[in-house]
Chains A and B, each alone.
Chain A
C-alpha cells in the first residue's frame, strides 16, 4: 500500500479550468488531481510560493479521494498548505495526518451579534475595549500566575470531554449557545486519556485566553449586506455591532500535534508510507496510531470550543458592565462558531457512492449547504454560517455554505485573507510608523499585549480578504452575506 517512490516533476503542470478554477492534473505519484480556487491575480501570488506543490504532495498520500483542494487564501504551510482540504477513505487505506489539521487544533472563529448600534457604542468604545483587554488575557504567558484561571486536573478532563458544554454548565453562557456551534461545541469522539500530561500542563492556564499571532477579538460594525434573507436570519443589521473571536486550543493543541508528529514519523515508515516532507507524517485511519490521534485531536478540539465559549461570555459581561444593561437585554447572542483546523468524519458522495470519509481542513472552513442536518435549525433554509476574518484594519465577511461547495469541496470554503508578507518583512515595513495613531485615524481602537504583534499583523501584510471572498462567492463555494468593518481590536 506504500506510496510509489516516484517524484513529482520539477515543473508542475497547472491548467486553468475557468475564471476561478485551476487543475493540477495527476502526475508522478499523485493519486488524484489537485484543484485550486483563485482568479488570475491571486494565482500569480500563489505561484510564488510552494503551496501548489504542497497541494500536489497531499494528492500523493494513500487513500485520498476526490481532489486535493486549495482555497484562494492558500499559502505555504508545514507539510500541508494552509488553505487546503483533503478527504481520505479508510477502506482505501486512507490516512490521518496531524499536519493536515495544523498545530492549533480546532482553531476557529465565532460571531456574536448585538442590538447595540455603532453610534450608541461609540462614546463608550474605548472603555469597552479596556474592559475586554482586562478580562480576556491575550499574548504570551498570560494567566500563568492567576490561580483563578488555572484549572484542576478534573476540570481539564471535563473540558476535554465536554467542550463548550462544560463552560455553559459553569454558567459561562446559555444552553442556546450550544445549538449555534459546529457539532454543538462538543466532539463526542474525544478521548481525554489520549492527551498527554504535558499537553494538559501547557493548556491548563490558557482556557479563556486569546493567545498570540493572528488571534484576536474584534468588534465590527455591519457595513454592507449582500444577502438580505440570510443576514436577517443571522440577526445582522446595518450599523449594528458584532463581535468576532478567533482562537483555538492554545498550547494544549500544539503539544498534541508536536507529540503525534513524532509518533507518526515512525508509524509512516512502518506502514510503508513514503513522505515527500516529514511534516506530512501520517498513519492509516484504522491503525492504533491513527485512532489515538483522532481521540486526542477531538479532545483538543473540545478545549478550543470551551476556550471560545469562555471568552465570549467575558465579552458579553464586558458589554453589560460598560453599557450598564444586562447582556441579554443587549441582544448579544451567538450567531455561530465554526472551526478551520480539523479533521472530521463526514459522509460525502464520491463518484456514484456515499462514502464515510475523514475530511481534513487546514485553514479551510466547513461550509455546509441549506438543508444539511448539521446546519442549526434556525439556519436550515439559508445554509451554515461561515466566518471569514480579514486583516485587523480592513474588514471581515460572513458567508453561508452552498450546495456547490458540498459537491465540489467536501462542503468547504476559504478561511481568511492569507499572508503576503513574512512577519519579519511586515515588521520592517512599518518601522518608524505610529501604528496606534494610524488605527485611531481609521476609527479603530487597538489593544495589544505586544507592539511587535501589531507590527507583524499590519493590514498590508495580508491579502485583501475581499479578493479571496470574491473568488469563493463567484465560484459558488460560499455565498457572501455581510461585511463587518473593525472598530475595536484586541490582539495578542
Chain B
C-alpha cells in the first residue's frame, strides 16, 4: 500500500478503518480523501505506469444507477468527468469516495489527480485515472458512520470518514 497523502491520518477502530483529513480548502480536502482512498484500497506496487490518458474510457459510467449493462469492458486510463450533488458537504464526500471506490473495484481505474470544484453541496471534477492491473479493492464501502466534513474555525477544512473493509 502506498503512504497516505499529507494532511491524512489513519484512525484506529475495532472492526475497521477510518481517516481524518485536514486541508486548506474543500477542493484540496476532496483530493486528499481520494488519494487516501486509493492508498488504502489498492496495493500500490500493482499500479501500472502512467497511461498518459491516451487509451480513452472504453466503458463510460455516467452515474446511472438503473440500467443493467452488458459485462464491463476493461477501460483504459484517461480523463473522466464527474458531477455530484448532495444535501451537504459530508454526504457529498461519501458520494465522491463511493464513486471512486466503485471505479477501482469494478473497472480497475484508480484516481490519480483532478481539477476539482466543490461548493455548496455540489462537486465538479475532471479526474485523471490510472489503470490497475486488475480490478478489486481492499475497502468494500464508504460509510456514513461518524461522518464529519466541513470548514474548521480557522477557515481550513476537516473531515472524518470510516471505511468498511
A75 to B106, Cβ gap below 8 A? Answer: no
Task: Determine whether the beta carbon of B102 is less than 8 Å from that of A423.
Answer: no
Inter-subunit contact A422/B12 (CB<8 Å): yes
Name A212's contact: one of B64, B135, B138, B146 (CB within 8 Å). Answer: B138
- CB of B69 closer than 8 Å to a CB of A: yes
- Is A144 close to B, CB under 8 A? yes
How far does the alpha carbon of A320 sit from the alpha carbon of B140 in the complex, in Å? 34
Q: How large is the interface on B (under 10, 10 to 19, 20 to 34, 35 or more residues)?
A: 35 or more
If A150-B71, A196-B66 touch, whether A265 touches B91 (CB-CB below 8 Å) is yes
| Known contacts A141-B136, A197-B64, A269-B87; 20 further A-B pairs (Cβ under 8 A) | A75-B15, A76-B13, A77-B145, A79-B144, A140-B138, A141-B134, A144-B136, A197-B66, A201-B71, A204-B72, A205-B135, A251-B105, A254-B140, A258-B98, A262-B98, A278-B90, A278-B145, A279-B143, A422-B13, A425-B12
Residues of B within 8 A of A228 (CB): none
A266: B residues at CB distance < 8 A: 87
Mark each residue of chain A from 128 to 145: 1 if its CB lies under 8 Å from any CB of chain B, else 0: 000000000001111011
Cβ contact within 8 Å between B134 and A144: yes
A75 lies within 8 A of B14 (CB): yes
CA distance A269 to B70 in the complex (A): 35
**Cβ of A281 < 8 Å from any Cβ of B?**
yes
Residues of B within 8 A of A419 (CB): 14-15
The residue of chain A having its C-beta at the shortest distance from the C-beta of B147 within the complex is A278
* Contact present for B165 and A201 (CB under 8 Å): no
User: Residue-by-residue, is B65-92 near A (CB-CB < 8 Å gives 1, otherwise 0)?
Assistant: 1111111100000000000000100110
- B: which residues have CB within 8 A of A? 10, 12-17, 61, 64-72, 87, 90-91, 94-95, 98, 102, 105-106, 108, 134-138, 140-147, 162, 164-165
Residues 305-342 of A, flagged 1 when their CB comes within 8 A of B and 0 if not, give: 00000000000000000000000000000000000000
Cα distance A413–B66 in the bound complex, in angstroms: 37
**Contact (Cβ within 8 A) A197 B138:** no
The answer on a CB contact under 8 Å between B106 and A201 is yes
Nearest CB of B to A389, in Å: 15
- For residue A118, CB closer than 8 A to chain B, the reply is no
Give the dominant DSSP class at B's interface.
Answer: loop
Please, how many angstroms separate the alpha-carbon atoms of A423 and B15 in the complex?
A: 7
A-B contact pairs, 6 of them (CB 8 A): A145-B134, A197-B68, A201-B72, A254-B140, A278-B145, A279-B143
> CB-defined interface of A198-214 with B at 8 Å, one 1/0 digit per residue?
10111011000000110
Q: Which residues of B contact A5 (CB under 8 A)?
A: none
Is there an interface contact between B135 and A141, defined as CB atoms closer than 8 Å? yes
- For the complex, what is the distance from the CA of A257 to the CA of B91, rounded to whole Å? 15
Query: In the complex, are the beta carbons of B69 and A197 less than 8 A apart?
Result: yes
A78→B143 contact, CB < 8 A: yes
Say whether B144 contacts A279, CB under 8 Å. yes
B15 pairs with A424, CB closer than 8 A: no
Return chain B residues, CB-CB under 8 Å to A261.
Answer: 144
Docked complex: A209-265 residues within 8 A CB-CB of B = 212-213, 251, 254-255, 257-259, 261-262, 265
Take A76-B15, A197-B66, A255-B102 as given contacts and tell me if A281 and B140 are in contact as well, using a CB distance cutoff of 8 Å.
no
Q: Are B106 and A262 in contact (CB under 8 A)?
A: no
Contact call B144/A265, Cβ cutoff below 8 A: yes
A251–B141 alpha-carbon span in the complex (Å): 9
Q: 6 tightest CB-CB pairs across the interface, nearest first?
A: A141-B136, A78-B145, A278-B144, A140-B136, A279-B145, A196-B65
Bound CA–CA A85/B22 (angstroms): 37
Instruction: Give the nearest-CB partner of B138 in chain A.
Output: A140
* Binary B-proximity of A377-400 (CB < 8 A = 1, otherwise 0): 000000000000000000000000
Say yes or no: is A152 at the interface (Cβ < 8 Å to chain B).
Answer: yes
- For the complex formed, measure the closest distance between the CB of B133 and the CB atoms of chain A, giving whole angstroms: 9
The CA-CA distance from A96 to B132 in the complex, in Å, is 37
Within 8 Å of chain B (Cβ to Cβ): is A18? no
CA distance A156 to B70 in the complex (A): 11
Q: How far is the CA of A140 from the CA of B94 in the complex (A)?
A: 22
A201 to B61 CA separation, bound complex (whole angstroms): 11
Is the beta-carbon distance between A251 and B140 smaller than 8 angstroms?
Answer: yes
A150 proximity list for chain B (CB < 8 A): 71
Q: How far is the CB of A254 from chain B (nearest CB, A)?
A: 5
Does A82 sit at the interface, judged by CB under 8 A? yes
Is A277 among interface residues, defined by CB-CB distance under 8 A?
yes
Given contacts A258-B142, A422-B12, contact A144 B165 (CB under 8 A): no
